[in-house]
Amino acid sequence: MDRNSIIALVLIAIIVIIWSIWTSQNAVHRQIPPPKEDTTATTKSNENIQDSLATPTNPQVKNDSLEILEKYGTYFVPFLKGEEKFITIENDLAIAKISSKGGVLKSIKLKDYKSWNGYPVQLVWSKFGVLSITLSTREAKKVDTRDLYFKFDENYPDYIKISGNQSSSLSLSLEIQPGKKISRKYTFYGNQYHFDTYLNFTNLEDILKNEPIEYRWNEGLRYQEGNSVDESNDAKALFKVNGEEDDRDAHNDDPVEKKGEGRIDYLAIKNKYFLAAILPQNQGDISYGYLVTGRRYHVEDQGIIEKYNVAVQIPYKSGDKKYTFRIFVGPLHYDLVSQYGLEASIELGWKFIVRPIGEFFMLPIFKLIHQIIPNFGIAIIIFSILMKIILYPLSISQMRSTQKMQLIAPEVNALREKYKDEPQKQQQETMKLYSQYGINPMGGCLPLLLQMPILYALWAVLRGSIDLRQAHFMLWITDLSLPDVLFHLPFSFLGLKFISGLALLMGITLFFQQKMTITDPRQKTLIYIMPIMFTLLFSNFPSGLNLYYFMFNLLSIGQQIYINKYSRKKLTLEDLKKMPKKEGWFQKKMREAQEMAESQGRSVPGMAGMSYKNQQSKKKQSSGKSQRNKGKK
């Protein structure tokens, strides 16, 4: 094996080791509740607050009462006592629960989805609820209304069910003083993942400072998958302000933050498959502020969670002001979120080149196939066949180039043997041979490079598709969004604890594919090493992806067999000689580089793995040997 092959193997090994160490963190973790976060207003239990206010004769209670007054001021202390009442609203898609304490959304369950452990998906993570209001008072207090008891404006039933085109509204209020109050209203719809909220602030200029009121979604979305690390890799906060989309991702241990103001299209939080978004309505000339924060936490079993807060900062000054917000809480289905202008929440790869391929080409095709084929596994197989047909012009060019290289392989090997002690001469003769038969040595690489954006777009589409989540295929493959574990290893190898069945099948097909295409004896080791490495690497991939790669390799093998054995246009060396010779761009550049190098008495950099100094030494040795032979004669 020559130096270049050894370097290639070492680089591949380094890449696989680094990848394996990274993916070792993706071992399946049970969902662990995150460390308790400090909040701006909720530091005591309601029971302690009520006790402090009820028994002022106790010295300790007096101190607590003073502490409460110091924290909340005089305006809001009376509303720290009360009875929490819940109203549940169910529609065709979700079940939401509203609490009178803070008037917040306490929970929301999506009826058509289950978490990793079989329970309904419930996305509110904060135990104090979300869609809270934070106020700054003239007493220099920061008050979180999740500590305050609102009153429902009517005697609503505890459980409300709507369907189809029906809608239902409920309202709550907190009257601080006569004619001075905070009102909240929710309107739910029978067949939608969104609901509307209304905030009404009436004559609070004597109570509130002239500072923005914050309307917040706290603590992100509750995780739903069995692998907290993998889900954290997809969790982030997104926002679109003044027409520009951006995001914040707490991918390391440093907290992230973004604030500003302008016309807000949305503030959103996502995990791998679900999304919550605040979309201001009827903004007119209102310029909202916004605040986005996030942080990563380490939890048990090497788990990781990320939590984000997003807040709309409402510029209230005085009088009676009403603000409307649409709240979307639902799955990351492209067709669904695009109705709200939230397409950016779907991960489809690089914004330029890759994303348009996935968004406007692959997603529609995959959706069309699934409309005909309900089983997603079979749909992926059909999809792989269709993609193979679409990529045929590129793949056939690559295979033809491989076939040409195979035909002249014996002659190339003969030149290497003939000029094994003359690397520069060997390279010159090899390039002449390529020119003689009209072969571009890089002809097989260009089609592969052109396919890379397409394959990456496909990877992004299948990896993040919620359609594959918990989708059963066959046999042991019960969830196409997760690795299909064929068997567990008795020990952890580079962090890998199991082998994926489809990854193993993909590795086997890769072995045969390499066996058919690699002709250089110096690269024979790759035939055995690459399938092993890729089997280990792909064992952490979702089974839907591995099913696609396995089928794509299988189809490529069939195509190569057909070209090599059954094609009517089977090439021979004579055919290559007769073909019109057209010097490609790469061949031209290589020839020019070689001619320039020869004129300067050196070789093309990297040629045959020899440096200029070594080549000059070789020339001197050859010249000395020639002179000695003349002397003997």
| Amino acid in the structure at residue 515 | K
pLDDT band at 398; cut points 50, 70, 90: low
What are 445's two structure tokens?
Answer: 């690489």
- Report helix, strand or coil for 467: helix
H/E stretch holding 324: strand 320-331
Q: What is the pLDDT of residue 314?
A: 92
- Tell me what the pLDDT averaged over the chain comes to: 77
Is the pLDDT confidence value at 460 over 70? yes
Q: How many Å apart are CA 463 and CA 501, to the nearest integer?
A: 17
Is the pLDDT confidence value at 343 over 50? yes
List the chain domain ranges.
Answer: 1-30+483-541, 82-346, 347-481+542-590
Max mean pLDDT among 3-7, 264-268, 372-376, 434-438 falls in 264-268
Q: Compute the Cα dihedral for 398, 402, 407, 413 and give only its sign.
A: positive
Q: What is the pLDDT of residues 485-524, one digit of tens each?
A: 888 777 666 666 778 888 888 888 888 877 776 666 666 6
A 10 A CB-CB count for 267 gives 28
Q: What is the pLDDT of residue 541?
A: 81
What are 63's two structure tokens?
Answer: 């101190």
More confident residue, 359 or 442: 359
What are 393's two structure tokens?
Answer: 């012009």
Q: How many Å apart are CA 582 and CA 295, to the nearest integer?
A: 58
More confident residue, 520 or 72: 72
| Residues found in the chain | 633
In this structure, what is the dihedral angle of CA atoms 542, 544, 545, 550, given to the nearest 10 degrees? 120
Among residues 315, 104, 285, 295, the alpha carbon closest in space to that of 214 is found at 315
Is the pLDDT confidence value at 354 over 60? yes
| Amino acid in the structure at residue 442 | M
Is the pLDDT confidence value at 24 over 60? no
User: Count of alpha carbons within 13 Å of 614, Cβ hemisphere only?
Assistant: 12
Q: What is the pLDDT of residue 370?
A: 84
H/E stretch holding 325: strand 320-331
Q: Where are the extended beta strands (E) located within 68-139?
A: 86-90, 94-99, 105-114, 120-122, 132-136
Q: How many Å apart are CA 556 and CA 577, to the nearest integer?
A: 27
pLDDT band at 5; cut points 50, 70, 90: very low
**Phi-psi bin for 353: left (phi > 0), alpha (psi -120 to 50), beta?**
left
Of the chain, the percentage scoring pLDDT greater than 90 comes to: 29
For range 425-433, the mean pLDDT: 75
Q: What is the pLDDT of residues 535-585, one digit of tens each?
A: 887 887 888 888 888 888 888 888 777 776 766 566 666 666 655 555 555
Q: How many Å apart are CA 306 and CA 337, to the nearest integer?
A: 22
What are 10's two structure tokens?
Answer: 């070492």
Is the pLDDT confidence value at 12 over 90? no
- Which option is the CATH number for 82-346: 3.30.420.130, 2.70.98.90, 3.50.50.60, 3.40.1160.10? 2.70.98.90
A 10 A CB-CB count for 611 gives 13
Max mean pLDDT among 21-25, 136-140, 442-446, 530-534 falls in 136-140
Helices (DSSP H) in 228-375: which residue ranges? 228-234, 334-337, 354-357, 363-372
Q: How many Å apart are CA 568 and CA 580, to the nearest integer?
A: 20
Is the pLDDT confidence value at 25 over 50? no
pLDDT band at 2; cut points 50, 70, 90: very low
Q: What is the pLDDT of residue 37?
A: 40
Q: What is the pLDDT of residues 572-611, one digit of tens each?
A: 666 666 555 555 555 555 556 556 655 655 544 444 434 4
- Per the CB < 8 A criterion, the answer to whether 507 and 499 are in contact is no
pLDDT band at 41; cut points 50, 70, 90: very low
- Report helix, strand or coil for 329: strand
pLDDT band at 291; cut points 50, 70, 90: very high
More confident residue, 219 or 2: 219
Q: What is the pLDDT of residues 608-628, one digit of tens each?
A: 434 444 444 444 444 554 455
Q: How many Å apart are CA 424 and CA 612, to the nearest integer?
A: 10
Among residues 545, 535, 531, the alpha carbon closest in space to that of 481 is found at 545
Max mean pLDDT among 231-235, 424-428, 446-450, 517-521 falls in 231-235
For range 339-348, the mean pLDDT: 88
| Amino acid in the structure at residue 104 | V
Q: How many Å apart are CA 394 and CA 390, to the nearest integer?
A: 9
Q: How many Å apart are CA 259 and CA 278, to the nearest integer?
A: 16
The model carries a pTM of 0.74
Q: What is the pLDDT of residue 236?
A: 92
User: Count of alpha carbons within 13 Å of 304, Cβ hemisphere only?
Assistant: 18
H/E stretch holding 392: helix 392-418
Contacts of 625 (CB under 8 A, 6+ apart): none
Is the pLDDT confidence value at 192 over 70? yes
Q: What is the pLDDT of residue 465?
A: 82
